């Protein structure tokens, strides 16, 4: 059944890739990853017919899967070469996790909501992506056991960059994170240079709040 659904959705996925290319996504590795990962399997069945629209969709537990153009822009900014070790904060649906598994050598992903993590892990098992490790826990603590990482992607809005991320990223490594309040943020790219972070402002964004010890508590 999955194979039949996969074949049925091939055309819409190709059209999405073409749309993203027209919108300015030039990184062929990112476009290839979006062409390879079946987004419809990462969204609830009730909205599956909208899987290849360029729009955010609800995935339950008050969370959403970002629109594909956001994922594409996010990943293009990192300029991954394929040999990196990447930490993802906020597994969510697991869709971006799967994209990262195509683009990087190893992916470590943290999710705080058990139901989301269980669903994402099962979907990724079905789709056959293997170079991914999952952790249920507080994403603001990072994952010290496997640090340092070449890139850290934070999929929720925070008031500031947690010191744990700076400690767990390699020299020259990148941290991509939305900073602001609970409603609106600005996406920033930070590059570690010694004990300092070099900052680049990217664009205004809106993400769900990052909850944890070093971010918004008790939401």
Give the Cα separation of 117 and 207 in Å (integer): 18
Burial class (CB in 10 A: 0-12, 13-18, 19+), 62: exposed
Q: What is the pLDDT of residues 160-178, one digit of tens each?
A: 999 999 999 999 999 999 9
- Domain coordinates of the chain in residue numbers? 66-205
CA 205, 208, 211, 214: dihedral to nearest 10 degrees? Answer: 0
Write out the catalytic residue numbers.
66
**Residues 147 and 167: beta-carbon distance below 8 Å:** yes
Give the Cα separation of 109 and 36 in Å (integer): 20
Global pTM reads 0.92
Give the Cα separation of 30 and 69 in Å (integer): 11
Sign of the four-CA dihedral 129, 97, 41, 54? negative
Give the Cα separation of 3 and 25 in Å (integer): 28
Sign of the four-CA dihedral 29, 36, 68, 92? negative
Q: Is the pLDDT of residue 7 over 60?
A: no
Tell me how far the alpha carbon of residue 192 is from its chain's centroid. 20
Does the domain spanning 66-205 belong to CATH 1.10.10.10? no
pLDDT at 3: 47
Between 183 and 177, whose confidence is greater?
177
Q: What is the pLDDT averaged over residues 53-82?
A: 91
Give the Cα separation of 173 and 191 in Å (integer): 6
pLDDT at 207: 87
pLDDT at 5: 46
Q: Is the pLDDT of residue 131 over 70?
A: yes
Q: What is the pLDDT averaged over residues 52-75?
A: 90
Give the Cα separation of 130 and 85 in Å (integer): 14
By residue count, the chain amounts to 219
Mean pLDDT score of the chain, rounded to an integer? 92
| Secondary structure of 109-178 as H, E, C letters | EEECCHHHHHHHHHHHHHHCCCCEEEEECCHHHCCHHHCCEEEEEECCEECCCCHHHHHHEEEEEEEEEE
Q: What is the pLDDT of residues 23-34, one digit of tens each?
A: 999 999 999 999
Give the Cα separation of 22 and 195 in Å (integer): 39
Backbone phi and psi for residue 158, each to the nearest 5 degrees, phi listed first: -125, 160
**Which of the residue ranges 3-17, 42-56, 79-93 has the most confident prediction, judged by mean pLDDT?**
79-93
Q: Is the pLDDT of residue 140 over 90?
A: yes
Q: Is the pLDDT of residue 218 over 50?
A: no
């Amino acid at each position: 059944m999955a194979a039949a659904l996969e074949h049925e959705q091939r055309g819409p996925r190709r059209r999405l890739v073409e749309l993203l290319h027209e919108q300015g996504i030039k990184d062929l590795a990112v476009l290839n990853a979006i062409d390879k990962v079946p987004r419809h399997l990462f969204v609830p069945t009730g909205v599956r017919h909208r899987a290849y629209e360029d729009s955010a969709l609800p995935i339950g537990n008050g969370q959403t899967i970002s629109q594909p153009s956001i994922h594409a822009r996010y990943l293009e900014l990192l300029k991954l070469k394929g040999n990196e070790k990447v930490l993802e904060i906020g597994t969510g649906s697991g869709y971006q996790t799967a994209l990262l598994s195509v683009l990087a050598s190893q992916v470590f992903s943290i999710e705080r909501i058990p139901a989301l993590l269980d669903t994402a892990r099962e979907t990724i098992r079905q789709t056959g992506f293997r170079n991914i490790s999952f952790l249920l826990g507080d994403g603001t603590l990072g994952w010290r056991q496997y640090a340092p990482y070449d890139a850290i992607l934070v999929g929720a809005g925070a008031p500031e960059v947690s010191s744990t991320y700076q400690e767990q990223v390699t020299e020259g490594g990148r941290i991509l994170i939305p900073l602001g309040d609970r409603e609106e943020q600005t996406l920033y790219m930070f590059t570690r240079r010694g004990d300092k972070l070099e900052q680049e402002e990217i664009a205004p964004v809106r993400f769900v709040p990052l909850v944890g010890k070093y971010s918004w508590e008790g939401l």
